[in-house]
Structure 1
Amino acid sequence: MTADCLFCRLVAGELPARVVHETDSVLTFHDIDPKAPTHLLAIPKRHYRDVGAMVEADPGLAGEVLAAAHTAATLAGIHTSGYRLVFNTGADASQTVFHVHCHVLGGRRMTWPPG
């Protein structure tokens, strides 16, 4: 855990979260600033700065985060209509919380290109 990390504090129970799904290694919860009708975040409970750091340190954990994101999409009822998974990696990609997280977006038609 990193003491100044918002998501580490959520994992530690120091801050509230609207949890959708939880495993031993991943926490999935509602984003507090949603960009779609359904906007969830799937995060590893261990701190990694971004998806690249997580994959380098523990490639299997990436699969666990993706599985948790899919489970959360299923629980939210967006798995059949479609959903988008997004990892913003680095400041130029608009990563604002430097604890790897997967955005699970759905509940409306997504456009392309996204940004």
Structure 2
Amino acid sequence: MTRNGTPAARECVFCAIAARRAEASVVHEDDTVVVFMDLNPVTPGHLLVVPREHAAGLEDLDGATSAHVWSVGRDMARALRRSSMGCEGINMLLCDGEVAFQTVFHFHLHVIPRYAGDGWTLNAESSERERVLLDGDALAIKDAIASTG
């Protein structure tokens, strides 16, 4: 995890928002995270849950912060469903790395309210993977778990 006094953190827009040096429409904040409206929302009500401590991606977060981000994300999804905004569903989206569409390199969880006919789609092409290949993938992941604890 990179501390907020480093050059990367000083240039980070999410660090600036967390420190109240940049404008944002804040919905919730505590000692660990700040939640604010996405400036370029997919749908009305699109929120970002952002840890105050600068971390580029998921692997850079400590376990407690990671758990807190997801817990607050759940609370925000619940609030969106109970709000007057009338959302009918929720997508929680994590973009971790450039190839995964991350554009701001400070970890953040998107909480996206969904509305019938809102026009936002995920159009992934997928096909069934053979069991032998799935078993090989599972083994590679198990090996990584064993080696990292």
Q: TM-score, normalised by structure 2?
A: 0.67
1-structure distance, mates of 2:110, 2:18: 17
The Cα shift of 1:61 comes to: 1.0
Partner of 1:71: 75
Q: How many residue pairs end up in the alignment?
A: 112
Distance 1:30 1:12 in 2: 16
Displacement of 1:76: 2.5
Contact map agreement 2:91 2:112 (CA 8 A) in 1: yes
Structure 1 portions without partners, runs of 5+: none
Structure number with greater Rg is 2
Structure with larger RCO (C-alpha < 8 A, sep 6+):
1
Q: Please tell me whether the aligned partners of residues 36 and 106 of structure 1 are also in contact (alpha carbons under 8 angstroms).
A: yes
Question: Residue 36 of structure 1: CA displacement?
Answer: 1.7
**Distance (Å, rounded) in 1 between the aligned partners of 2:94 and 2:100:** 9
> Which residue of 2 is the match for residue 43 of structure 1?
50
1:86-105 equivalences in 2 (<5 Å): 86-105=93-112
| SS of equivalent to 1:52 | helix
Task: Return the match for 1:22 from 8, 29, 34.
Answer: 29
Shift of 1:75: 2.5
- Tell me the CA shift for residue 100 of structure 1: 0.1
Deviation at 1:113, TM superposition (A): 4.5
Matched, 1:52 2:59: yes
- Over the aligned positions, Cα root-mean-square deviation in angstroms equals 2.2
In structure 2, the gaps of 5 or more residues are 126-149
Structure 1 stretches of 4+ with a deviation exceeding 3 A read 78-81, 109-115
**Secondary structure at 2:20's aligned position in 1?**
coil
